[in-house]
Amino acid sequence: MNKQSEGAPSFSRNHPFPASAGAPDVLGRDEFEGFNELVSSLYKCLKSNAGFQPFFEAFREHFRCIQGGILGLTSSPIRMTYGWTFGYPEGFEQWFLNSDLPQQDAALIRFSSLPPRQFDSLAECDPELDIRDVMTEATREWAEQAGLGDSAGMLIREEDGSRIVFLANRHLSEGPYTRSELLQMNMLAPHIENAVDLFHKLYHSKSDNESLSMALDKISKPMVVLNEMARVVQCNAAAEAILNSHPRLFVEESDQARLQSRDAGFSRKLSDAIITSIFNARDGVNDIITLFDETDDERIAICITPLSMESSDSGEANEHYGALAELISFRASVPPDIERLTKLFQCTQSEARIAGHLMQGATINDIAEAEHLSVHTVRDYVKSLLSKNGYRRQAELVGALVRALG
């Protein structure tokens, strides 16, 4: 499937996948850097008709898959109506479109029946399981010819009798997807949902500016888009709801329209972080900067991502740079998921408790007081977390924590 159905653009390219010895069982620095790059590549779909190809290429390299895509399906019976795909042989897409093969495809049946935004592996992450055993005759022969070893996927959205599914197939020589890789995919899941929703609305609109505004308002995740001059160009309804009720964060009511805080010191930090992200976008650096605003029990984590946006003004392709700010609201009184922290960050229960405080914006002194520990002991825990996960700075670790569990 390397084309879209009639009347919609095609986004696909075939090239070899990189060989690898397999994925690690825990998430280290490289995996989180790869996650951040995947998130950035997803949001490059904004203001662009180039489709999901950059994201597909990044996903294929990171997870060592050979083919897959985003498929639009009817619910009953399961039939494909369109698809953005990569890696499939010429002609396969038309066969898939014009047949009842989706109704017999074990992967599509499994993934389209999942709860939204939850990745699963057809092989159940079991190296002893042969996925051909769960396939129908109609798909088993093709899987053998393609050397298919596993498939991972999720249901992006289901509404009005239709479903949108993401899937990625892997060659048997790579082995099945690991639990660690599924955890990474589940971190990506809400971003995939956002990007697909945005792209669908942008693609079907004649006005980029109007459609971006409408599309962002359909996204429940609070998001603010800033241009090259660090000015707010779009702020969705979810973000506005937070800003309208927040005692300090606001968007300036002027031509400048900047995201600011009534706390002068924090406002300077926020401005510096936004400008840094814009420069990083120009330099191709995908570092995510995370700041915390605290009001009593309420916490707002502001995750700022470098953003590249392609446009085709005057018939010429131009690339513009900016930043995407995601506002993550939570309460300090609600404890983080310690068990998940231990799995994601390969740490002990004690270290996970420290990590939980860090992801809420607590300082070393705050943590020491809350846990009744010495500052020296807390620092040792933080050093251990940094060492185990390959981070050099505490800020990198905090950013990874918020991205993973925020």
Q: What is the pLDDT of residue 217?
A: 64
Q: How does residue 374 score in pLDDT terms, banded at 50, 70 and 90? A: very high
Three-state SS string over 335-378 comes to CCCHHHHHHHCCCCHHHHHHHHHHCCCCCHHHHHHHHCCCHHHH
Q: Which of 316, 331, 346 is where one domain is finished?
A: 331
Q: Could you tell me if residue 312 is inside a domain?
A: yes
Q: What is the pLDDT of residue 40?
A: 67
Lowest mean pLDDT among 58-62, 69-73, 208-212: 208-212
Same domain, 195 and 271: no
Q: Which of 290, 316, 331 is where one domain is finished?
A: 331
Q: What is the pLDDT of residue 282?
A: 79
Looking at residues 240-252, what average pLDDT do you find? 90
Cα separation, 387 vs 205, whole angstroms = 48
Contacts of 59 (CB under 8 A, 6+ apart): 38, 65, 68, 168
Same domain, 311 and 327: yes
> Does residue 22 register a pLDDT over 50?
no
Burial group, residue 10, by CB count within 10 angstroms (0-12, 13-18, 19+):
middle
Q: Which two tokens stand for residue 158?
A: 């289901």
Contacts of 232 (CB under 8 A, 6+ apart): 224, 225, 226, 251, 257, 258, 259
Distance in Å from the first CA to the final CA of the chain: 35
Structural domains of the chain, count: 3
Q: Could you tell me if residue 239 is inside a domain?
A: yes
Q: What is the pLDDT of residue 128?
A: 87
Looking at residues 246-270, what average pLDDT do you find? 87
Give the pLDDT confidence of 88-106 residue by residue, as tens digits. Answer: 876 666 666 666 677 778 8
Same domain, 286 and 381: no
Q: Which two tokens stand for residue 334?
A: 């609600």
> Does residue 169 register a pLDDT over 90?
yes
Q: What is the pLDDT of residue 36?
A: 61
Give the pLDDT confidence of 127-137 residue by residue, as tens digits. Answer: 888 888 888 77
Give the pLDDT confidence of 333-349 residue by residue, as tens digits. Answer: 888 888 888 887 888 99
Q: Which two tokens stand for residue 306?
A: 């470098």
Contacts of 318 (CB under 8 A, 6+ apart): 310, 311, 312
The mean of the pLDDT values for the chain is 77
Same domain, 197 and 301: no
Same domain, 49 and 149: yes
Q: What are phi and psi of 229, to 5 degrees?
A: -95, 10
Q: What is the pLDDT of residue 57?
A: 85
Same domain, 239 and 267: yes
Q: Could you tell me if residue 319 is inside a domain?
A: yes
Q: Quick one: CA dihedral 15, 18, 24, 29, positive or negative?
A: negative
Q: Which of 315, 331, 347 is where one domain is finished?
A: 331
Tell me which of 65 and 161 has the higher pLDDT: 65
Cα separation, 119 vs 168, whole angstroms = 11
Q: How does residue 12 score in pLDDT terms, banded at 50, 70 and 90? A: very low
Between β-strands 162-171 and 148-159, what pairing exists: parallel, antiparallel or unpaired?
antiparallel
Tell me which of 204 and 83 has the higher pLDDT: 83
Cα separation, 334 vs 349, whole angstroms = 17
Same domain, 36 and 166: yes
Residue 143: domain span: 29-203
Nearest to 323 by CA among 278, 280, 258, 272: 278
Per the CB < 8 A criterion, the answer to whether 230 and 326 are in contact is no
Give the pLDDT confidence of 383-406 residue by residue, as tens digits. Answer: 999 888 777 778 778 877 876 666
Same domain, 198 and 224: no
Same domain, 46 and 144: yes
CATH of the domain at 388: 1.10.10.10
> Does residue 258 register a pLDDT over 60?
yes
Q: What is the pLDDT of residue 204?
A: 46
